Chains A and B, each alone.
Chain A
């Protein structure tokens, strides 16, 4: 019963985090006017080449968790960069929600890590992210490139929190079904 409850809480947290990330991107678009009309192109920032195609739900959870860990690294780099540029004097809704997403993403990583330690396999941990990675893709670290990179990070957050929500929901359903069968 405890495993099902944990998976349920993790699924709910993933859904909440997905809504937060969607809202965070909305606030960012309001701040940066160019994003409201034409989305900048670019490749995905988070890919899972290290993890083979998951077969079981538990393995999919581990797969998603690896992506979330990568997103967490990108988000922390994003915060460091914005604070470095803008300082901490700005305390608007965007800055507040940005901190909330980071905290809840940390909780989700911890929750999914606990689920995987209960017997489910997981992907090997990714190497630590360097904040300079991917930021100088085109023409250096100018402010516009940083804004485009921030936008892409937020898109990755939305994508992987949505994946985590669906996978954890499925994982929770399976756990719940298994426990029901054990009870019967």
Chain B
């Protein structure tokens, strides 16, 4: 029923301004009689984008400089002596007071003109309607701005041929008519064009009601109110109308529609007690609805209070005869007014009478003590100024299922901060079920929470989501079946809505060393610190910067671990308990592994001994393999003395004639009679006595005696005294296989030696070949020729700590390269220090 027709007439009635015509008509002004400056055309109204020529006639004797269009300097053309012209193309829209075109000299503005550049009318969308069921109001949209502000160039409006005063004088875009006409024509005209708009409709189709007035509420109750209003137009009373009420309460809004002839009152149902409502009202014609009328001013309604709703009550027993009755606070929606308190009464089968207790509104629990009664009934009610709520009776049979009930408790896994519970329906659950959850191990005033679940035949899968569930807290969740006067515990779980890592590490972590093993033992942390089910333990060996996992114990009941095969060192062990959320920070224990006595004995004594033994074996094998070399190196073959004659004869003194090739240089004394005195064996006893008199012998005039000692190493018989000189010489001289050597051969005098000034020296290096000793010997003498006289063997005395006893070794075999007696007679009683022997042995000192 929206029918209207708009017609727009696009008329450009402006004739183009011909510059030629203008000039022809105005050039006649350039006459001496009209000497003042002037410009034409003046105050022209032209459309945007048009071209235009302006002509300036300058005053006599005035100098012309330029012409300007707005702020733009233009190139002027001189048409005559006093006449100049510019042509402006594609003119933009003017400002509020038009565009100034001036003609100026060097200093002054000589003359000018104003041109108004704009658009023809752009109005559209004419719509006519009635507000009082008699007159008409027609409105339209302004459309594009014409940019023509001057009064004479503004758009003029006529409606059905009559001037539209509202639009022409008050610059609005509506016109009124005292009578309704079924067709309307609006003409909009300005100097640049004309627009014609039309509309046609029945009056009943264009009813636009005014706003209801005097809105008020009567009979405001807790749940309803009656709203009344009036109309400023009497003819509305017979109009079939529909009204719409909008209720705003607590940022919520609702819309209700009412209808009726001349509607002026409605009853608002389903309101809530003690609530502030804000009501707005608007109406429209029910038949041929055109649009909603104007909205009334907001009106405020405050409903009365009513008794609170019944409380949600629960009872929780923390022991066999003590417990608490809990109730949930009523929301504003259910309290129906500010609560002033609660009333709790308790009765048992033996005592029918109730003793109500009043509690302030901040209390939500009350202790219950059973006095030899198996069943009690607790009634809790809330009170507000309107009265007491419906009493909630809670019959208590849960005495059989206190929190420490032995009912099997299964583990419940939380999911994203909630629990998913499933249980089988119970035939006795006539009133549904109740799910209760409370922190495990809590005693006293515990944060008990519960939720009632309606009855159902099928198995339940209940998603428990509550703000009271705290992550990392173990809850005991119980499901009860509700029946009249009794509760039955169906199932009980323990679980965490969200597991976290333990807040404390394991306790009492201690190491016990057993040999090279360490037994780590610990205790689990308290339940309130576990914050999740302990799934096991991990044992780490702490190194400098990281932990090496050495064991992962997945059984939380196992709280010890043996670390085997540790070598003596310092160890740091870390034991961590872990939940599904991760490991705790861990407990650390240090231990220093020490070797036991047997091991220390083995390592400290037996091992070095074994090594030494092995070395000796190796040396022995090596020496055996290289025995030839060892013999040459340490025990070279001593050439035997070449004795002419028959040495087999035992009679007579041994005539020793030194061989020129003998290593032994024998100084002969021609005056000595070998039959009397010669080389003879000296008993050791005598040698010892004579040994002390060596110097004496040196100084004597007796011919030098070569004292010859021999001794067979390892043959004790040969070391004995031999009275038979032949036997003695045979054993000493003729042997090259024995380890016999000369030692201690000393010359009694140095001055009488055949070797000149050099004193006698021991054989330093006897390892040379048989032909060489003579040369070597002489060389030594030559070297020693620098020295004078006999020099005692200092090294002997220095190296031998028992030099005073060396005389006792005389006659013992000695090394060729050493003046030290290899096997002193008293070696068993007084062993020489090995280092000294070895040092001399290596250095070759005599």
Interface residues of A (CB under 8 A from B): 31-35, 37-41, 84-87, 89-90, 138-140, 142-144, 147-148
Contact = CB atoms under 8 A, between A and B. Distances in A.
A182 B816 CA distance: 157
Contact of B112 (A34, A39, A85): A34
B721 interface: no
B590 interface: no
A41 B151 contact: no
Contact of B70 (A33, A39, A90, A147): A33
Nearest to B108: A41
A90 to B, nearest CB: 6
B114 A86 contact: no
B104 A38 contact: yes
A144 B95 CA distance: 14
Nearest to B73: A37
Nearest to B38: A139
B171 interface: yes
Contact of B42 (A38, A41, A85, A144): A144
Given A86-B150, A138-B38, A39 B108 contact: yes
14 contacts: A31-B96, A31-B97, A32-B100, A34-B104, A34-B112, A40-B109, A41-B108, A85-B150, A87-B149, A87-B171, A138-B37, A139-B38, A144-B39, A147-B112
Which one of B37, B42, B70 has the highest number of Cβ atoms from chain A below 10 Å of its Cβ?
Answer: B42
Contact of B102 (A38, A139, A142): A38
Interface string B57-89: 000000000001011000000000000000000
B163 interface: no
B100 A38 contact: no
Contacts of B70: 33
A73 B171 CA distance: 29
B151 A37 contact: no
Contacts of B71: 33
Given A85-B151, A87-B151, A144 B100 contact: yes
A148 B107 CA distance: 16
B781 to A, nearest CB: 138
B100 A34 contact: yes
Contacts of A31: 95-97
B151 A86 contact: yes
Contact of B98 (A138, A139, A143): A143
Given A142-B42, A143-B150, 16 more contacts: A31-B96, A32-B97, A32-B100, A33-B71, A37-B104, A90-B96, A90-B149, A138-B38, A139-B42, A142-B43, A142-B114, A143-B42, A143-B113, A144-B42, A144-B100, A148-B112
A144 B112 contact: yes
A96 B288 CA distance: 49
Contacts, number: 81
A144 B97 CA distance: 10
Contacts of B112: 34, 144, 147-148
B104 to A, nearest CB: 5
Interface of B: 36-39, 42-43, 68, 70-71, 95-98, 100, 102, 104-105, 107-109, 111-114, 149-152, 154, 171
A33 B97 contact: no
B605 to A, nearest CB: 115
Contacts of A38: 102, 104-105, 107-109
A86 B97 contact: yes
A87 B37 CA distance: 30
Nearest to A35: B109
A37 B110 CA distance: 12
B113 to A, nearest CB: 5
Contacts of A34: 68, 100, 102, 104, 109, 112
B416 to A, nearest CB: 63
A147 B104 contact: no
Contacts of A33: 70-71, 100
The 9 closest A-B pairs by CB, nearest first: A143-B114, A142-B42, A40-B109, A38-B109, A34-B102, A144-B112, A38-B104, A34-B100, A41-B108
A40 B108 contact: yes
A85 B149 CA distance: 8
A90 B149 CA distance: 9
A4 B149 CA distance: 48
Contacts of A39: 108-109
A164 B171 CA distance: 41
A147 B36 contact: no
Nearest to A82: B97
A33 B99 CA distance: 9
A84 B151 contact: yes
B271 to A, nearest CB: 49
Contact of A147 (B37, B100, B107, B154): B100
A91 to B, nearest CB: 12
Contact of B96 (A86, A144, A148): A86
Contacts of B36: 138-139
Contacts of B95: 31
A90 B96 CA distance: 9
A32 B95 CA distance: 10
B57 to A, nearest CB: 10
B28 to A, nearest CB: 15
Nearest to B37: A138
B98 A86 contact: no
Contacts of B37: 138
Contact of B149 (A35, A86, A138, A144): A86
Contacts of B113: 142-144
Given A86-B149, A138-B38, A143 B43 contact: yes
A32 B96 CA distance: 10
Contacts of A89: 149, 171
A120 B310 CA distance: 93
Contacts of B38: 138-139
Contacts of A148: 109, 112
Nearest to B171: A89
Nearest to B62: A41
Nearest to B150: A85
Contacts of A37: 68, 104, 109
A78 B778 CA distance: 156
Contacts of B98: 143
A81 to B, nearest CB: 11
A86 B68 CA distance: 24
Which one of B68, B109, B113, B151 has the highest number of Cβ atoms from chain A below 10 Å of its Cβ?
Answer: B109
A172 B71 CA distance: 46
A43 to B, nearest CB: 13
B46 to A, nearest CB: 14
B703 to A, nearest CB: 157
Nearest to A40: B109
Which one of A38, A40, A89 has the highest number of Cβ atoms from chain B below 10 Å of its Cβ?
Answer: A38
A147 B96 CA distance: 13
Contacts of B111: 138, 144
A78 B494 CA distance: 93
A54 B98 CA distance: 44
Contact of B114 (A40, A84, A87, A144): A144
B98 to A, nearest CB: 6
Contacts of B109: 34-35, 37-41, 148
A131 B72 CA distance: 33
Contacts of B154: 87
Contacts of A40: 108-109
A139 to B, nearest CB: 5
A85 B154 CA distance: 10
A169 B828 CA distance: 147
A41 B150 CA distance: 26
Contacts of A139: 36, 38, 42
Contacts of B39: 144
A34 B72 CA distance: 10
A165 B96 CA distance: 34
B107 to A, nearest CB: 7
Contacts of B152: 85
Nearest to A151: B109
Nearest to B95: A31
A32 B102 CA distance: 11
